[in-house]
Amino acid sequence: MATDEKKQDRGGVIPYYIKDDKIIMMFMQPSNPKFGGPSFQIAKGKVEKGESSQEGAFREAKEELGLFGPNITEVDSLGRFGTIHIYLAKIKNPDMFGDTTDETKATTWWTPEEFQSQGRSWQKPIVKAAARKIEKIENLDDRKTSTMDRSSRTD
């Protein structure tokens, strides 16, 4: 297959923060359903010539979510899912986002569980993987285990 015939790389970002030991993630709803349907989904798009997948992903996140550099405290690669490289962006302030382009009808903050019930179906495994990685990064899995250990004790 010739290089120009292969599917173009895409990049996506899931911004998140932790509130009361819960993961809260940001998603977007396209203004035109022909670009992803009516469901909320991960902000993503094509990586332009000369961009790395990370540069393309964060350009798309700025356009579709209003995410900008000073609000990001940490970036982690979640990995590649088909042609899409997904990044996680821990943010400082969920209220510190700029304007979006006309590609975005709305943005929302959801827990991973809310996305599983209402988000774009083919992205549900990606969001589940993101939640697992964030739990490890933030040591949330340890807190759940230690809380469960304490509650199951009989003194």
Query: Residues 54-77: pLDDT tens digits?
Result: 999 999 999 999 999 999 999 999
Residue 98 lies in a domain: yes
The tokens describing 108, both together, are: 């929302």
Please report the pLDDT score of residue 69 as a whole number.
Answer: 94
Boundaries of domain holding 49: 7-150
Residue 2 lies in a domain: no
pLDDT band of 142, cuts 50, 70, 90: low
User: What is the C-alpha separation between 13 and 28, in angstroms, rounded?
Assistant: 11
User: What is the C-alpha separation between 70 and 58, in angstroms, rounded?
Assistant: 12
Please report the pLDDT score of residue 78 as a whole number.
Answer: 98
- Give the residue among 142, 115, 147, 107 at the shortest CA–CA distance from 131: 115
Q: What is the CATH number of the domain that holds 130?
A: 3.90.79.10
Residue 58 lies in a domain: yes
Q: Are 50 and 130 in contact (CB under 8 A)?
A: no
Residue 88 lies in a domain: yes
pLDDT of residue 150 exceeding 70: no
Residue 81 lies in a domain: yes
Residue 107 lies in a domain: yes
Please report the pLDDT score of residue 33 as a whole number.
Answer: 85
Q: Are 129 and 74 in contact (CB under 8 A)?
A: no
How do beta strands 22-30 and 10-19 pair? Answer: antiparallel
pLDDT of residue 149 exceeding 70: no
Q: How far is CA 113 from the centre of its chain?
A: 13
Residues 6 or more apart from 100 whose CB is under 8 A from it? 28, 63, 64, 65, 66, 107
What pTM, to 2 d.p., does this model score?
0.87
Residue 126 lies in a domain: yes
pLDDT of residue 155 exceeding 70: no
- Give the residue among 31, 12, 14 at the shortest CA–CA distance from 111: 14
pLDDT of residue 131 exceeding 60: yes
Provide the domain count of the chain. 1
pLDDT in tens, 28-43: 999 998 888 899 999 9
Residue 155 lies in a domain: no
